Amino acid sequence: MLDAKALTKAVCNVVVAVTGLPANKVIIGDNGIDAPTGSYCAVRLQNPEQWGQALNSQTNVQALDDPQYEDIIARVATQFTLGFSINFYRAGAVMYAAALCEANKREPVKTILRAAKLGWSRVSPINNLTGLYQAAMEERAQLTLYLYGESIAEDRIQRIYRAGFTVETEQSGAVAQGEVNGLSG
């Protein structure tokens, strides 16, 4: 399952590493707290989109109920493209946004992404949203950072090793009984 908060914090760490903004000036967007004073950045995960095909695998493991049997662990890794809206406010907003372009080539960013198990896709064009705010011009910039990630789900499947059966014919009513045993070869 995707952990939106952990993913957003990883992107906040990328923004801190690239822009030089202090960590307390790079916040998770829409969190209901007041905006920091001075220049700051708000990061928000947009709708994740499925990308590619899920990677399916199965592994045999010892059964929980009887060690002579085996269960199957079925693993499905769903791949996603994750879009993060990154908004910079106040002095230097456009400069900070531009710093994210090609940031995936920088070693600190590679380290942060690797630790979060994320891959870099691309950065959208920068939107310069500078405008009049409370009777003064306030610099603002927005871009979307696209990353690759995956969500892994595992399910335990118990194998059926023995099944009994009874068969009855319609015409004669003859009955046959038996057992299928997967351990008998």
Domain residue limits at 99: 4-184
Above 60 in pLDDT, residue 98? yes
pLDDT of residue 115: 95
Does the predicted model carry a pTM greater than 0.95? no
Q: What distance, in Å, lies between the first and last C-alpha atoms of the chain?
A: 39
Q: Residue range 178-182: average pLDDT?
A: 77
What lies within 8 Å, CB to CB, of 37 at 6+ separation is none
Q: What is the pLDDT of residues 16-51, one digit of tens each?
A: 999 999 999 999 987 778 888 999 999 999 988 888
pLDDT of residue 44: 95
pLDDT of residue 185: 46
Number of domains comprising the chain:
1
Cα gap 79→28, rounded to integer Å: 23
